[in-house]
Every structure is written in C-alpha cells, then in structure tokens.
Structure 1
Amino acid sequence: MTNVANWKRDSVVCVLLLCFYAAMYAESIELKAVARTYPQVLMLLCAIFTAALLVKSISARHTEAADGDTQQKKTALAVIRDVAVICAALVAYALAIKILGYITSSAAFIAGTLLYLGVRKWYVVAGVSLGTTLFLYYMFNHLLGILLPSGFLI
C-alpha cells in the first residue's frame, strides 16, 4: 500500500473510533453514578489515545518512506511470518497443556516465545517464563480457587 492509502485508512478508522467512543460515553450517562465512572474514564482515555493516533496519521502523510515499497513488503512478510509462528506455538501450547500440565507447558511456551522474539539472556528468559508461570499458577489455584490442568510432568 502507498503512504497515502495508509494515512487515509488510519484516519478513517480513527474518526470512526472517536464517533464510537462518543456514542458509548453518551450511553453511559444514563447509568447510575457508581456504574458510569469506569466506562466514562475508559472512553475518555481511548478517545485521547485515538486522537493522538489521528494526529500522527495526518502528520504521516507529509513524510515519505525512505526505502519505498520493497522495504514495506519485506517488513510485511516478516510480520506475517512472526504471527504465523506465534499462532503455531499457541496451538502447540494448547495441545501440550493437556499432556504436560500447566506449569511445564506454560514455562516452555513463554521461554520459546521469548527466544523466538530475540531475547538471548538466559536469566531473563528463565526469570520471565518461570516467574510468570508460577505467579499465574498461584493466582488461579490459591487465590481464585481455579484448578489449572496437571499433567504427568507437574
């Protein structure tokens, strides 16, 4: 796509989102005072961020890509490849969680994803994968009382 098509599409989406947020804010006015605060704050924050994106999109039409279409195509293919690999990893994780259990499959999934995304420090990979897995295990099993799948490896 050309830069013109990108900023036009982005601008249209931003305007539509702003209209949606305005409509949702107007609908939330009819709620009780206690119930309307969270939706109104959420809609205002979303509107602020969307307005920032709209400004960025409009200002982007004045800049041109340095490398042209070939660089955009390479980037697009790399993004598609990354999304496909992560989706395949999610499917493998969903299948493995029933066999290996939550702790083993989650730690392996997170570690594999981090390694694929380029994190190479072993202590970061180990800390994030084990820390996230154990934190979520504690939250679900002990605080919420929701049992996570257990397999033959834990």
Structure 2
Amino acid sequence: MALDRWLALIFIAFCCAYGYLAFFTMDQLLPPFMQRNPVWPSTFPKILSVLGVVVGLIVVLGLEKPTEQGEPSATDINLSRLHEYKLGQAVMLLALMVAYALALRPIGFLLATTLFLAGGSAILGERKWYIMIPVSVLAAGCVWYLVQEVLGIFLRPYPFFMGN
C-alpha cells in the first residue's frame, strides 16, 4: 500500500476517535436547557469527524486518482527521492508549533504569537527582519483584539507575572 493510503488510514483512525468523543462523551454534561437546542457544542466536531472519515476513505479506496497507471505526477510522493523534500523545515515547524502551544500561557498570547509568526517565517526562508517583526506584532495584536474585544473571549495578552 502506498504512503498516502497509510496516512489516510491513520487519519481515519484519528477521525474515528475524534468522532467517538464528539458523539458519545461531549454531550453528557450539558445542562438541561442546552439539551433542547438544535445546535450543540458538539455539532461541528461531529460534522468534522464524519467528513474526515469520508475523505480518508476516498483516499484509501483510491477514488481520487485516475484509473490510468502511467508516469507518476509531480504531486505524488516519491519515496526514493524522500531526501530531496524539505523535511527539516517541516519538522522545525512542527517543533515550533509545540513550543508555541507550551509557551502560550506562561508568556502570554501577544509575545508567543509574535515569536511563532516571526520564527515560522524565518524557518520558511524569509530574511527581512525589518518586515517580519512588525507584521508579526501587527497580526498578533489584530487577532488578540478580535478575540478579546469583538468576540468577548478572554485571552491573556501578557505574561503571567504581569497580571490579568
């Protein structure tokens, strides 16, 4: 079986676990007044899990590929040329995402997001720091403002030692 089908199989397993949580565990603790609502907090996760399983099955069954087995296209993953792909960048971005998630509470949203955006663009090859830093600060500030002020969801902007 090809690599894309193995990845799709892993994706299906993840979606099944996510769907189990959405269908059977998320709604048990809802208060009685929310149980009569047509849309529950688990509605979107349920839709995502079902769509994820459908898309994964399409890949596993090979329905997305043409039936003609000729020369592989440029978008196919070629395992014999795996060393030519930029795996280092992908691994560094994944590590940066984990570091961002771990740093979000201790150093606050604004600083963590600014460092994540600037670090991610540096990993991807941007070298103009005089553009990267202001854009990262502006993007982090805009997202914080939209979430905090417009949506009304509290998001700690500063490090924990600076108070709320």
Q: TM-score range by the shorter chain?
A: 0.5 to 0.7
Q: State the distance in 2 between where 1:119 and 1:42 align.
A: 39
Q: Is the counterpart of residue 83 in structure 1 residue 83 in structure 2? A: no
Displacement, 1:46? 0.8
Is this contact kept in 2: 1:14–1:54, CA < 8 A?
Answer: yes
Paired position in structure 2 for 1:148:
159
Counterpart residue type for residue 87 of structure 1: A
Paired residues, number: 135
Q: Is the counterpart of residue 14 in structure 1 residue 22 in structure 2? A: no
110 and 5 in structure 1: CA distance in 2 versus 1, 3 angstrom threshold:
closer
Paired position in structure 2 for 1:70:
79
Q: Which runs of 5+ in 2 are unaligned?
A: 66-71, 149-153
Task: Specify the SS of the correspondent of 1:41.
Answer: coil
Is this contact kept in 1: 2:92–2:123, CA < 8 A?
Answer: no
Displacement, 1:20? 1.9
Q: Which has the higher helix share?
A: 1
Displacement, 1:24? 1.9
32 and 117 in structure 1: CA distance in 2 versus 1, 3 angstrom threshold:
farther
Taking structure 1 as the reference length, the TM-score comes to 0.53
Paired position in structure 2 for 1:111:
118
Task: Specify the SS of the correspondent of 2:41.
Answer: helix
Q: Which runs of 5+ in 1 are unaligned?
A: none
CA displacement, residues 16-60 of structure 1 (integer Å, 9 cap, x when unaligned): 32222111244135x2425x689x633110111121111111111
CA displacement, residues 97-117 of structure 1 (integer Å, 9 cap, x when unaligned): 99xxx9889756633432332
Percent of counterpart pairs with the same letter? 15
Taking structure 2 as the reference length, the TM-score comes to 0.51
